[in-house]
Structure 1
Amino acid sequence: MSSLKQSAYYAVGILMMKGISLVMIPYITHKMTLEEYGSLESLVLLADIGTILFGFGIVDAMYRYVGVAKGEDKRKLISNCFTLSVFVCLLGGLLIAISLPALLLVLPVKFSAYQIFLLLIPTMLDGVISIPLTLLRMNAMAKRFCFLNVFKGIIQALMTFSLLEAGYGIDGVLISGAVSSILLLICLLSYQWQEMGKFGYLKSSKLVLSFGLPVLVGGASVYMINGLDRWFLASFIGVEELAVYAVSAKFALILGLILQPYALWWFPNRVSILQLENGKKKCADKALLGVNIGIVMGTLLILTVPGLIMIILPSSYHLAGTIAVVLLAIGMIKNAGDYLNLGCYSGNSSQSQMWIQGICAIVAAVGYFVITPMFGLWGVVGVLATAYTLRLVLLYMASQSMEFLPYEHSKWLTCIVIAFFAITLNHFLGNVFTGIPEIVTGVGVSLLALFSFVKSAVIPLSDTTIMKSKPS
């Protein structure tokens, strides 16, 4: 299958896997009050940290070791990773069950024990499911990856719609998430068994965990940057403010979804590509391509999302359009940090990124604690921008010191200049032609910006430089 077809399949699969909550926003925000939607987002925050902990950094270890292993050694490593994921899932579930009374007390919103258990099911299973899904990507099985995620997305959407219409509210959303995750796992088990041969191999656990645990700490640190913001909003400001902020964040999530097809190819293969002839140049070009795609798509979304929110959401959410613009800009910065950090992963340890993520997390946590009570939503946004900018700078410096890559910085600078002029022009036109819907001027300027990006050749349309999924 060609790389272009693989990217297309990945795009559809990821849109269904992660975009279901985004697609359902107009419906859910009309079916729930601000308070109910804010309460639901409090549960989502709990699921986010759970997903990081249950993942245990094992997928990143797969990127590093399974991708370059051969034959029986590869099968053993796959078995080791899957076995560890199952053990982490079971142990984590047991610990949460034991600590449930204390957990219910510290949550910023009151929930019932059964709601936590409903949330726990997909959260626990996510770490296990991620192993066969990663194997599908590493083995270039994009079509199957797409089909399974489309299946899960459709089941989850239909159940959510049916249960909300039946009056189940938050419980309906939780039930649909749990059932769809269980069905996806059942569909993946046969493929997982085929790839690993047998369950229970653990002799490579030290190797896997030595790489995965720093990633886990780094992931938890990222959560402190991009998760504690909503905890502090719920605690100090209220769930209504959290609801508006959460909607903004979900629209900003569109950028991540658009970037996923390229990322799904790049991250499992970047270490292998680095080992090819002229690998440093190839990695530099492909990493910078990921950065530029982020800037281009982020700019187009900044120009159109506010107008879209004005049309499809209730008036109580219209502030979300303004906040989404800033969050999309922050998303571009985060994306750049994700791509310009290969040196931190090229060795046998990922501790450098762990320390960097930890430093940024401390900066964010202190900032949220001090600034959120005073400045509310905009204080949170300011801290988030500061933390991710610091992360980008530190990751780039550390990565270049460990594995220098010859980046052509003029390309991303060109992207930034075009983006700046397009956003400025859109703001000017919005002030001059006040009678025209915001979405109209946004679409017009976005088309002009897209033409400028294409003419500047920051993203080569003739060949997106995506190589074969299995570097030769």
Structure 2
Amino acid sequence: MGVRELMDSIKRFSKEALIYGIGGILNKGLSFLMIPIYTRIFSVGEYGAIEILNLNAAFVSIIISLGMDATLSMYFYKFDESDRGERKCFVSSILQLRLIWGFFVAILSTLLVPIIFGLISNGDLNFEIYGILFLGVLINQIVSIASDIMRLTHKPGKFLLVSLMSSIVCAALTIFFCLAMNYGVFGYFLALAMSGTLIAIYSIHLIKNYLSFSRIYSEYWVKIIKFGVPFMPAAITMYLMNSTDRWFLEIYKGVESVGIYAIGLKFAYILSLLVEGVRQAWWPVAMELVQKDDNKKIFRNAAEIYLGSAAIGVILLTYCSPKLIDILVSEQYRESWRIVGLLAWQPVLYGFFSIICIGIWKSEKSYINAIIMGMSALVCVMCNWLLVKSYGYVGSAISTIIAYLFWITVSLYISESLWRVGYKLKIMLMQITLALGYTSWFVFVELGNMNIVNAIVGLIIILIILSMIIVDKEKININGFKKYIF
């Protein structure tokens, strides 16, 4: 890849990251506008029940997808402009398989999941809620495929439009069903299913040039399943890493603790504004850059800049979390501030993985990722088992940090052994240590005291992290960088 092509890739990545970032801000902004409403509509127990039901939906969605998102990403670029017809058939085949298989999974889940969950948690068996829940999951498969195509074709504007429309319609319907109609938890999932249906119809319209409904393209199904299914263990273990905390909380402390934890997690995901925009724009560009060894410098710089920026975000969010919680949520949720700064590391490290795992993907040894994630999920389960019973939702947050740090550390080591990029480990370790140290000190020692001393200490640490990024002499020349971005 020549200099001009390299800068074109950087330019496209920067513009798409900006658009995805703006979209994330708008979506999360709307989500935060709903938090004061949700915490006043639903009791802590009801909000905890919604969170547990969403965990059920997430698992069923993994089973339905069969790793087809990875299949679509892998094979989409294998069809050049002269193979548009075959690309259309392949994309249509993925959509058809996902809907047909998903229909049977949704039916079976509606019948079995409430019974199994009732035996485990002694909860009420409400087949109506589970039915509408899994219907929404099935419908969302269409939106998911459409979003993947928009991202793969470098159309972040359309991606942003669909995402915003989905959030706005869902918010409006939730207010109607839960406030005006007083449908409670059922109204929440009814709004999700109805908004999903409307957005799915519009999404089909947006990607119609990549679809054909003339027949069932079953000839691709074996290839799709063969490539996608090996990704499922990684998806399931990622699910375990992201959900074990709430399952243990529900078992040991009840749905009320899950409700408080879920609100803390919502605030922690403020940093996903940074993560999602960068991650969604980064991956297609990274798949191009990884083809040439002389692009390693970009991966090194991306890792350092991303982690440093995210660490600064964690510090700022940690310091502001007591006031944010106090302003936006009702009294019964106030204790959730204690876990915001800790849980913020989850989206940060998740986004970081997409940068530092590149050696695993370049070597085409994706099965290694499944093994590493399986080990990390086991660490997560063990930590939750040891900590949640004694320390509640704080123990859950700590367990999440430990599991994600283990995952990142092992993945980085394996990735470097397969394709050495030469990441600056000392700098990245210092960035994490400084930010995590401040978070722990503010939460456990200062108990959320937003005084001038804590603010000054945070500012000093931020300046230190910034200096690590700015002083590095290996960065791409800023003047030349600006020329290609603006």
TM-score calculated relative to the size of structure 2: 0.84
Other structure's SS at 1:393 match: helix
Deviation at 1:121, TM superposition (A): 2.1
Q: Which residue of 1 aligns with 2:191?
A: 176
Indicate conservation of the 8 Å contact 1:13/1:148, yes or no.
no
**Number of matched pairs:** 465
Other structure's SS at 2:344 match: helix
Q: What are the superposed Cα offsets for residues 369-420 of structure 1, whole Å, 9 maximum, x if unpaired?
A: 4543343323323332222222112211222222222223354245346636
Is 1:248 the counterpart of 2:248? The answer is no
**Range 4-13 or range 385-394, more displaced:** 4-13
Is 1:373 the counterpart of 2:389? The answer is yes
Other structure's SS at 1:405 match: coil
- Cα distance in 2 for residues equivalent to 1:264 and 1:467: 23
Report the AA paired with residue 61 of structure 1: T
- Cα distance in 1 for residues equivalent to 2:102 and 2:47: 28
Indicate conservation of the 8 Å contact 1:89/1:128, yes or no.
no
Deviation at 1:80, TM superposition (A): 3.3
Match of 2:404 among 388, 398, 422: 388
Q: Are residues 369 and 430 of structure 1, via their aligned partners in 2, closer, same or farther at CA, if it must alter by over 3 Å?
A: closer
Is 1:43 the counterpart of 2:53? The answer is yes
- % identity of equivalent residues: 21
Deviation at 1:12, TM superposition (A): 3.7
Match of 2:178 among 164, 187, 190: 164
Q: What are the superposed Cα offsets for residues 412-452 of structure 1, whole Å, 9 maximum, x if unpaired?
A: 24534663686589789968x96xxx398877776666555
Report the AA paired with residue 94 of structure 2: C
**Range 456-465 or range 151-160, more displaced:** 456-465
Q: Which residue of 2 aligns with 1:26?
A: 36
- Cα distance in 2 for residues equivalent to 1:153 and 1:412: 35
Deviation at 1:10, TM superposition (A): 1.6
- Cα distance in 1 for residues equivalent to 2:325 and 2:282: 32
Structure 1: any 5+ residue segments left out of the alignment? none
Match of 1:457 among 466, 469, 476: 469
Q: Which residue of 2 aligns with 1:67?
A: 77
Is 1:193 the counterpart of 2:208? The answer is yes
Deviation at 1:177, TM superposition (A): 0.8
Q: Which residue of 2 aligns with 1:409?
A: 425
Match of 1:83 among 73, 84, 96: 96
Deviation at 1:189, TM superposition (A): 0.9
- Cα distance in 2 for residues equivalent to 1:323 and 1:427: 8
Other structure's SS at 1:219 match: helix
Deviation at 1:263, TM superposition (A): 0.6
**Range 173-182 or range 289-298, more displaced:** 289-298
Q: Which residue of 1 aligns with 2:150?
A: 136
Deviation at 1:29, TM superposition (A): 0.7
Q: Are residues 400 and 424 of structure 1, via their aligned partners in 2, closer, same or farther at CA, if it must alter by over 3 Å?
A: closer
- Cα distance in 2 for residues equivalent to 1:367 and 1:22: 30
Indicate conservation of the 8 Å contact 2:114/2:130, yes or no.
no
Indicate conservation of the 8 Å contact 1:63/1:267, yes or no.
no
Q: Are residues 210 and 428 of structure 1, via their aligned partners in 2, closer, same or farther at CA, if it must alter by over 3 Å?
A: closer
Report the AA paired with residue 95 of structure 2: F
Deviation at 1:65, TM superposition (A): 2.6
Report the AA paired with residue 398 of structure 2: G
- Cα distance in 2 for residues equivalent to 1:428 and 1:35: 26
Deviation at 1:156, TM superposition (A): 1.0
Deviation at 1:349, TM superposition (A): 4.7
Q: Which residue of 2 aligns with 1:322?
A: 338
Match of 1:356 among 372, 396, 410: 372
Deviation at 1:126, TM superposition (A): 2.6
Report the AA paired with residue 270 of structure 2: I
Q: Are residues 172 and 19 of structure 1, via their aligned partners in 2, closer, same or farther at CA, if it must alter by over 3 Å?
A: farther
Q: Are residues 463 and 265 of structure 1, via their aligned partners in 2, closer, same or farther at CA, if it must alter by over 3 Å?
A: farther
Indicate conservation of the 8 Å contact 1:368/1:383, yes or no.
yes
Deviation at 1:320, TM superposition (A): 0.8
- Cα distance in 2 for residues equivalent to 1:81 and 1:465: 39
Q: Which residue of 2 aligns with 1:54?
A: 64
Indicate conservation of the 8 Å contact 1:29/1:313, yes or no.
yes
Report the AA paired with residue 112 of structure 2: S
Alignment of 1:111-122 (within 5 A): 111-122=125-136
Match of 1:93 among 106, 118, 128: 106
Q: Are residues 152 and 465 of structure 1, via their aligned partners in 2, closer, same or farther at CA, if it must alter by over 3 Å?
A: farther
Is 1:272 the counterpart of 2:288? The answer is yes
Deviation at 1:237, TM superposition (A): 0.9
Alignment of 1:222-301 (within 5 A): 222-276=238-292, 278-301=294-317
Q: Which residue of 1 aligns with 2:7?
A: none
Deviation at 1:236, TM superposition (A): 1.8
Report the AA paired with residue 152 of structure 2: M
Deviation at 1:304, TM superposition (A): 1.7
Q: Are residues 239 and 141 of structure 1, via their aligned partners in 2, closer, same or farther at CA, if it must alter by over 3 Å?
A: same
Deviation at 1:118, TM superposition (A): 1.5
Report the AA paired with residue 150 of structure 2: L
- Cα distance in 1 for residues equivalent to 2:114 and 2:183: 24
- Cα distance in 1 for residues equivalent to 2:436 and 2:402: 19
Report the AA paired with residue 210 of structure 2: E
Other structure's SS at 2:217 match: coil
- Cα distance in 2 for residues equivalent to 1:99 and 1:169: 23
**Range 92-101 or range 245-254, more displaced:** 92-101
- Cα distance in 2 for residues equivalent to 1:194 and 1:295: 42
- Cα distance in 2 for residues equivalent to 1:286 and 1:76: 36
Indicate conservation of the 8 Å contact 1:344/1:352, yes or no.
yes
- Cα distance in 2 for residues equivalent to 1:306 and 1:444: 17
- Cα distance in 2 for residues equivalent to 1:5 and 1:163: 38
Structure 2: any 5+ residue segments left out of the alignment? 1-10
**Range 416-425 or range 20-29, more displaced:** 416-425
- Cα distance in 2 for residues equivalent to 1:174 and 1:464: 50
Q: Which residue of 1 aligns with 2:225?
A: 209
Indicate conservation of the 8 Å contact 2:311/2:435, yes or no.
yes
TM-score calculated relative to the size of structure 1: 0.86
- Cα distance in 1 for residues equivalent to 2:424 and 2:89: 40
Deviation at 1:220, TM superposition (A): 0.9
**Range 178-187 or range 123-132, more displaced:** 123-132
Report the AA paired with residue 254 of structure 2: G
Indicate conservation of the 8 Å contact 2:268/2:340, yes or no.
yes
Other structure's SS at 1:24 match: helix
Q: Are residues 422 and 113 of structure 1, via their aligned partners in 2, closer, same or farther at CA, if it must alter by over 3 Å?
A: closer
Indicate conservation of the 8 Å contact 1:252/1:328, yes or no.
yes
- Cα distance in 2 for residues equivalent to 1:39 and 1:146: 30
- Cα distance in 2 for residues equivalent to 1:252 and 1:464: 35
